[in-house]
Amino acid sequence: MDPIIFVSRNASKASEYLKIFSAHGMTSIQEPADLTEIQDPDADKIVREKAISAYRQIGRKLFVEHTSFEIEYLNGFPSGLTSHFIEMIGESKICDLFGSGGREAACGVTRIGYCDGKRIHVFKGLLKGRVSDRPSGGTDPWSSFGWNRIFIPDGFDKTLADIGIDVKNEISMRKRAASELIDHLRR
């Protein structure tokens, strides 16, 4: 099987996908490109539009992704608007608002958009957990990225930033979505 193309400028995500695919005897390669990323609360729509943008540039079978943070108390919001939500409200305020009082349930969701040239297939991986009562973890770029310092996965008592990248990669929503894509490719 030819290597699968992952279109993204994010080298950390590309490295994670390389490890995931390698564990299944497959290869992924990164193709950096400037993709159109719409801003929309509907993350499925975002990943589909990214896949269309990528396919127009690359012209071969490929995949893209979008990862979001979804708070159950807010009916899944911020979803496709995660980065803006965290930037505008801030980690501490999110923990103050949703880290207690029965409002903690949340999940991380990675959506992979795979374009085979005829159709876009969307695969989802979920990591359930809860909002922490306070931000916790390092201030290095990985720890402080997105919602790593405010999300505690089910089965853990520490945030993603506290458990570290290696453990996170073993349980991640990205790994779960990639497994769905791998199953699809093997059919």
Q: What is the pLDDT of residues 86-107, one digit of tens each?
A: 999 999 999 999 999 999 999 9
Q: Residues 71-90: what's their mean pLDDT?
A: 96
Structure tokens at 159: 């945030």
Architecture of domain 4-186: Alpha-Beta Complex (3.90)
**How big is the CA angle at 107 (ends 166 and 156), to the nearest 5 degrees?**
50
Q: What is the pTM of this model?
A: 0.94
CB atoms closer than 10 angstroms to residue 105: 15
Contact 146, 86 (CB under 8 A): yes
In 94-154, the DSSP E strands lie at: 105-115, 120-131, 151-153
Q: Output the pLDDT for position 109.
A: 98
